[in-house]
Amino acid sequence: MAEDADELARQLSNPVSSLISVPLQFNYDDLDSGGSRTWLNVQPVVPVSIGENWNMISRTILPITYQENLFPGAGSQFGTGDITQSLFFSPKQPTANGWIIGVGPALLLPTASDDLLGTGKWGAGPTAVVLKQSQAGWTYGALANHLWSFAGESDRGDVSSTFLQPFLTKGLGQGRTFSLNIESSYNWEAGQWTVPLNIGYSKVSRIGSQMVSYQGGVRYYAESPDGGPDWGLRFAFTLLFPEK
Using a cut of 0.95, tell me whether the model's pTM lies above it.
no
Question: Quick one: pLDDT band at residue 11, thresholds 50, 70, 90?
Answer: very high
- The angle at the Cα of 43, spanning 150 to 125, to the nearest 5 degrees, equals 25
Kindly compute the dihedral angle of the four CA atoms of residues 114, 120, 124, 129, in this order, to the nearest 10 degrees.
-30
Average pLDDT of the residues in 126-153: 97
Percent of the chain at pLDDT > 90 equals 90
**CB-CB contact of 126 with 103 (8 Å):** yes
The pLDDT tens digits for 85-115 are 999 999 999 999 999 999 999 999 999 999 9
Q: Secondary structure of 132-166 in the HEC alphabet?
A: EECCCCEEEEEEEEEEEEEEECCCCCCCEEEEEEE
In terms of C-beta density within 10 A (0-12 exposed, 13-18 middle, 19 or more buried), how is residue 111 classed? Answer: middle
Q: Given a cut of 60, is residue 1 above it in pLDDT?
A: no
Q: How many CA atoms lie within 13 A of 168 on its CB side?
A: 4
Q: What is the distance between the alpha carbons of residues 5 and 8, in angstroms, rounded to a whole number?
A: 5
